[in-house]
Amino acid sequence: MSGTSPTPGALELAAEVRSGERSARQAVEEALERVALHDPQLHAFVTVTEESALEAADGIDRAVAQGGDPGPLAGVPIALKDNLCTRGVRTTCGSRILEHWHPPYDATVVTSLRAAGAVTIGKTNMDEFAMGSSTENSAFGPTANPWDPARVPGGSSGGSAASVASGMVPLALGSDTGGSIRQPASLCGVVGMKPTYGAVSRYGLVAFASSLDQIGPFARTVRDAAALYNVICGHDPCDSTSLPDAAAVDLAALDDGVEGRRIGVLTELVDEMAPDVAAQVRRAADVLDRAGASVVEISVPEVRYGLSAYYLIAPAEASSNLARYDGVRYGLRVDAPDVARMNAATRAAGFGPEVKRRIMLGTYALSAGYYDAYYGQAQRVRTVLIEAMGRAYGEVDALLGATSPTTAFTMGAKTDDPLSMYRSDVCTIPSNLTGAPAISVPVGSGEDGLPIGVQVLVPAYGEPLVFQVARVLEDAVLSTS
Amino acid sequence: MAHVAKLARLDLTPEELDLFTGQLASVLGHAADVAALQLGDVPPTAHPQPLANVLRPDEPRPGLDRDEVLAEAPEVDDHRFKVPRIVGEAP
Amino acid sequence: MTPVAPAGDAVPQGDDVEWESVIGLEVHAELQTVTKLFCGCRNSFGDEPNTNVCPVCLGLPGSLPVLNRQAVELAMRIGTALHCEIRPSSFHRKNYFYPDMPKDYQISQYDEPINVGGWLETAAGDRVGIVRAHMEEDTGKTSHVGAGKRISDADHSLVDYNRAGVPLVEIVSEPDIRSPLEARAYVDELRAILVATGASDGRMEEGSVRVDANISVRPKGVEELSTRCEIKNLNSLRSLVRALEHERERQVALVSAGGKVVQETLHWDEAAGRTVSMRSKEEAYDYRYFPEPDLVPVDPGAEWQREVVAGLGLLPAERRARLLAAVGDERDDAAVDQVRTVVVQGLDDLVTAAVERGAPVGLALARVANEVAARSDGGVSVDPDAFAELLTMEAGGELSATQAKTVLAELLAKGGDPRTIAAERGFEAMSSDSLADVVGQVISENPGEWGRYLEGEDKLAGFFIGKVMGATKGRADGKQVAAELRARRG
């Protein structure tokens, strides 16, 4: 990437700011310059909050000057996916229906970031209401993959992935319901991680599928991703599904390695993948073997049911979560003589085709006479999968597999066939259904020179291990480059 | 499908209805593998983590500033959200 | 062909069919919590529109519900008082669109409600089964603006979300009720229970208790249930009784003439005195219930349940019995009625307190039932010491009944001390001598009436009492005047 040099790492930057070696203002100004330079081509950002970012940066510099410690991410510029509520700052969720909506409150994670000294510089592009795997479903145009602007960055957190991959910012937050952090991380060559369900508060995350959604970090390094996770994780009394005991990971233990760990290469996440993707997974398995782990092949056939179960549960919950967009209290309104027609006209004009499709699918799956066969059945499949994965974790400590079946595809390649787009999620969906954490770490390129990420899956509360395994893989890549 | 659109308060064009009917059928067709499983005794999972009894004390917390809320409203009258006439009672 | 409907349940026909009403009631009670069901906004009335809202009760994107512990406590108290089984429960979403619904779904309980089964016994001794009593959130309030005030004439509507999210318990009875009067007795007792448990203030006219009624008719002796109709918009006990009577007649007339009752929802029009069809329930709405993913199950556990039982206090039936026992020999129909009124409003403790301070029970009961109850709908109360003192003054002849009532009204309105108030108004009962003088005066001014009274027209006692009261500006005691008249007659 030409132009200004990419951002330094987040922890490195924070250390410099806290020690006074570098001003937060400078860090933020440089980030804003990089955005001004690269984003016209990439379109990763929907809104850039220049003024408030500089103000926040100044505040941090003042705190440092007075001998205070503004926090572990002091002065670090960060981008937030546009489904995270930011008070007074437009939060569109990639949709026309919220194109001009300003939330009157901050998401809990936004408050946590501010307390840690991080500086939000803008809101990133996404598939509308997080429904999609390419960011082509945004009402405001797609985001380009920094590796090749004719290709998608993945989705739904495509903007966040691209903002980090392009070096505009060192950190970004995304959300992951069926793979929306991990898949774009893989396609863009950055680290992306989905925490245990409930480890990060969902208060202020605009809901897509409530029992699957989680907020998670994007970063260029595993260490930075872990540091960001540490800032956002923890119990929140405003979220009833928040775990009472979600703990930060010990950054000092990140390099503990995988000696003695049992790793299972998950057959269902290797077979049927593109050959170059499968090859990377096998290479990653070798790396872990050489690092002292015992590596086996393992099969969990129930994983194959995940795709269908997900495409019943997620749209069903979404159809209910999106009912509130009715033109009454906020957002777009299309006038009509009576309120029901106003609702219907507003939603027709405000939602894109993918959202409409999923609302229809979800409404159908919940409707009288069909509930048991579809939604009810999908919830039972979920139990089956959780139990099957539980059995697998009786034999291994972590699973290894592809994150995405292919490298980044070209824009428009899958937009005509929703089903083929849905299949992009086959590797990532299981962790959403089980609520367990998973990470994608870039390990190399495909035949087309585009990045490939490998996925590590662990049981619930397994964040420490998932970062450790990712570190070993990252080290192997670094040592060969 | 038209009935589903009505339940979902979505105005769909006839073209959209046709397109979605086909696409939904194809998605549900693929879900047939799941639909066919005999899972009668398996309990459904509504929540991935087995939490229970998450309660809060009956104590007031500050709310929102009315002006900030109403500033986002499409139409306001007398500090209330204004909507076109409502036909029929709540279902 | 329309049969005449006399008082009572069964409506006899020309061909001698006796009809039986089968009535079930759904009662929604607003819980008396400090805050709403899922957020920390205040559960209060009369605030400026949309000033009592937050992201949660407005259903803003990204908001999440968190359950109010006290709402669960109160729901359990209701369940315990209704002899329900308290079970682990969960929440479901009931999905439908309406402008007063911030999320366009209501968080309610569906197939796993907190209270299941149970029964209630009315003051008259009829036992009515309870199907369930579950928790759910209330909606906002819409007002309709336009030509008429009814929703169908409106030009547009305005929505206020202050009350959105207020906790409700919905209590569903079995269709065990057999008459409109029994329905009234059920609601009365249920309100008394809600008040006694502290769960709700039980005020139907203010909307904190809302009643929907389901009614069908069948020939007596037939076990099968017939098609029923639901009646909504019953704002008072009177409306409840009138609406059920009307609907019973309508259904009986329809079926007697060979027609069939269509299952529908009816709106009760109090002014017109009839039910109006709202919608046919044949197209039952598909609410697409599914488990609420943003909330986790509630399992109160044995200890909390024990605490609820232990802390429950006396229920209305026990309170009535206690008060009637205190009334003892003076117990008559009027007293029974007064006891009922007093307990329904939770005022029996006041009577007991007054009696403990030396006031006579009959008088205390009468004053509370007739004077205090009428005014205490606004939550007004009276200090038991002051009240007891006043009653003692009246019982001792220091004040007439009329004077006592006036002082009581002031105590209720402003508080204070009864002796001071009485003195300020120059109240003091009349001595029997001065009373005798006034009576004599009135008699001499009205010789014709006096003559008729002497000949046995007892009714004229009232005439003379009235005159004496007027002449003394209320200072005379009505009973004393009556006694004086009788004495003079000999």
Give pLDDT tens digits for A64-122.
999 999 999 999 999 999 999 999 999 999 999 999 999 999 999 999 999 999 999 99
What pLDDT is recorded for position A3?
A: 42
Whether residue A259 has pLDDT greater than 60: yes
HSE-up of C433 (CA within 13 Å, CB side)?
0
Q: Where are the beta strands (DSSP E) in A429-481?
A: 438-445, 451-457
C positions 245-274 inside 8 Å of A (CB): none
C413 three-state secondary structure: helix
Query: In a mutagenesis test of the C interface, which of A90, A319, A321 is the best target, namely the one with the most C β-carbons within 10 Å?
Result: A321
Alpha helices in chain B (DSSP H): 2-7, 14-30, 32-35, 66-70
Structure-token pair, residue C341: 């009124």
* Angle value at C-alpha A161, between A175 and A119, nearest 5 degrees: 80
Query: B48 to chain C: nearest residue by CA?
Result: C293
Contact predicate A137/A95, CB 8 Å: no
Cα distance between residue A284 and residue A469, in whole Å: 10
**Residue C283 has what pLDDT?**
65
- The CA-based angle C439-C443-C444, given to 5 degrees, is 120
Q: Which residues of chain C make contact with A91, given a CB cutoff of 8 A?
A: 61
Indicate the length of chain B as a whole number. Answer: 91
A123 is catalytic: no
Test C49 with B53 for CB contact under 8 angstroms. Answer: no
Contact assignment for A374 to B24 by CB distance below 8 Å: no
Asked if A130 contacts A177 with a C-beta cutoff of 8 angstroms, the reply is yes
Single out the residue of A361, A375, A381 nearest to residue A305, CA to CA.
A381
- Average pLDDT across chain A, whole number: 96
- Give the span between the Cα atoms of A308 and A426, in whole angstroms: 9
User: What pLDDT is attached to residue C11?
Assistant: 45
Q: Per-residue pLDDT for chain C (490 aa), expressed as one digit of tens each?
A: 444 444 444 444 445 678 999 999 999 999 999 999 999 999 998 999 999 999 999 999 999 999 999 999 999 999 999 999 999 999 999 999 999 999 999 999 999 999 999 999 998 889 999 999 999 999 999 999 886 656 666 789 999 999 999 999 999 999 999 999 999 999 999 999 999 999 999 888 889 999 999 999 999 998 999 999 999 989 899 999 999 999 999 999 999 999 999 888 999 998 899 888 876 555 679 999 999 999 999 999 999 999 999 999 889 999 988 999 988 877 888 888 899 888 877 788 899 999 998 889 999 999 999 888 776 554 567 888 899 999 988 888 888 888 889 999 889 888 888 888 888 888 866 667 778 888 888 899 999 999 999 888 888 888 988 888 888 877 777 878 888 888 888 7
Contacts of B35 in chain A (CB under 8 A): 373-374, 377
Rounded to 5 degrees, what angle do the CA atoms C484, C485, C488 make? Answer: 85
Residues 6+ apart with CB under 8 A from C104: A323, A324, A326, C59, C95, C96, C97, C98
* Nearest residue, CB atoms, B86 vs list C142, C160, C279: C142
Residue of A138, A160, A163, A180 marked active site? A180
- Mean pLDDT over A224-252 rounds to 97
* Burial environment of residue C304 by CB neighbours within 10 A (0 to 12, 13 to 18, 19 or more): middle
Give the 3-state secondary structure of residue C344. helix
Average pLDDT estimate for B54-65: 98
Closest to C88 (Cα-Cα) out of B50, A243, A238: B50
Which tokens hold the place of A198?
A: 């409930």
Residue A145, pLDDT > 90, answer yes
**A84, closest residue in chain C (CA to CA):** C62
Report pLDDT for C401: 86
Does the active-site annotation cover A81?
yes
Cα within 13 Å of Cα(A423), Cβ side: 14
CB < 8 Å to C70, chain B: 57-58
In this structure, the number of other CB atoms found within 10 A of the CB of residue A331 comes to 24
Output the pLDDT for position C8.
44
The answer for B 28-87 residues in CB contact with A (under 8 A) is 28, 30-31, 33-35, 37, 39, 42-49, 51, 54, 56, 64-65, 68-69, 71-75, 81, 83-87
Q: Tell me how close the Cα of B61 comes to any Cα of chain A, in angstroms.
A: 11
Of these residues, A112, A133, A156, A424, which one is catalytic? A156
Confidence (pLDDT) at A310: 95
Cα separation of C61 and A322, whole Å?
9
The pLDDT assigned to A481 comes to 60
Task: Point out which residues pair with A431 in neighbouring strands.
Answer: none
Q: If pLDDT is split at 50, 70 and 90, which confidence band does A5 have?
A: low
Neighbours of chain B (3+ CB pairs under 8 A): A, C
Q: For residue range A422-464, what is the model confidence (pLDDT) as tens digits?
A: 888 999 999 999 999 999 999 999 999 999 999 999 999 999 9
Band the pLDDT of A479: cuts 50, 70, 90: confident
Asked whether the predicted pLDDT for residue A1 surpasses 60, the reply is: no
- For residue C7, the model assigns a pLDDT of 44
Q: What per-residue confidence (pLDDT) applies to B88? A: 82
Asked if C156's CB is within 8 angstroms of B60's CB, the reply is no
**C295 contacts in chain A (CB < 8 Å):** 240-241
CA distances, C321 to each of A396, A477, C328, C373, C481 (Å) = 69, 84, 10, 19, 35
3-state secondary structure of A293: coil
Query: Rounded to an integer, what distance in angstroms lies between the CA atom of residue A204 and that of residue A194?
Result: 17
Q: If you compute the radius of gyration of chain A from its CA atoms, what whole number of angstroms results?
A: 21
- Counting as contact any 3 or more CB pairs under 8 A, the partners of C are A, B
Tokens representing A179 are 């793979």
Q: Kindly indicate whether the ipTM for this predicted assembly is greater than 0.95, answering yes or no.
A: yes
Looking at chain B, which residue has its C-alpha nearest residue C304? B53
Q: Residue C217 pairs with which residues in a beta bridge?
A: C21
Q: Is the pLDDT of residue A2 over 60?
A: no
Contact A92, A137 (CB under 8 A): no
Task: Check A356 against B12: CB less than 8 A apart.
Answer: yes
Environment class of C245 (CB within 10 Å of its CB; exposed 0-12, middle 13-18, buried 19+): middle
Q: Which residues of A touch C286 (CB under 8 A)?
A: 367-368
Residues in chain C within 8 Å Cβ distance of B87: 152
A356: annotated active-site residue: no
Per-residue pLDDT tens for A70-82? 999 999 999 999 9
Please give the backbone phi and psi of residue C155, each rounded to the nearest 5 degrees, phi first: -95, -40
DSSP A172: E
Residue C291: list chain B partners with CB under 8 A. Answer: 44, 46
Contact A464, A470 (CB under 8 A): no
pLDDT value of position C434: 79
pLDDT in tens, A359-390: 999 999 999 889 988 999 999 999 999 999 99
Q: How far is C229 from chain B (nearest CA, A)?
A: 15
Taking the alpha carbons at both ends of chain C, their separation in whole angstroms is 59
Residue C279: per-residue pLDDT: 67
Please give the average per-residue pLDDT across B13-38, as a whole number: 89
User: Residue A304, class by beta-carbon neighbours within 10 Å (0-12 exposed, 13-18 middle, 19+ buried)?
Assistant: middle
Contact between residue A200 and residue A246 where contact means Cβ atoms under 8 Å apart? yes
- Helix, strand, coil percentages, rounded to 5, for chain B: 35, 10, 55
Which one, of A133, A141, A220, lies nearest residue A178 by Cα?
A133
Cβ pair A151, A450 in contact under 8 A: yes
Instruction: Work out whether strand A294-298 and strand A262-266 pair parallel, antiparallel, or are unpaired.
Output: parallel
CA A194 remoteness from chain centre: 7
Indicate which of C285, C296, C304 best probes the interface with B, i.e. most B CBs within 10 Å of its own CB: C296
Please state, in angstroms and rounded to a whole number, the distance separating the CA atoms of residues A218 and A184: 10
**How many angstroms away from the CA of C208 is the closest CA of chain A?**
26
Q: Which among B53, B58, B89 is the nearest to C298, CB-wise?
A: B53
Element at A391 (helix H, strand E): helix A377-395
| Nearest CB neighbour to C294, from listed A241, A326, A339 | A241
- What's the confidence (pLDDT) of residue C375? 66
Give kind and range of the element (H or E) at residue A478.
helix A463-480
pLDDT of residue C396: 84
pLDDT of residue B48: 87
Condensed to tens digits (0 to 9), the pLDDT of residues B76-90 reads 999 999 999 998 888
Q: What is the CA radius of gyration of chain B?
A: 22
- The residue among C298, C91, C77 whose CA lies nearest residue C198 is C77
| Token pair in block for residue A245 | 């005991």
The chain B residue lying nearest C58, using CA atoms, is: B69
| Alpha carbon C227 to its chain's center | 29
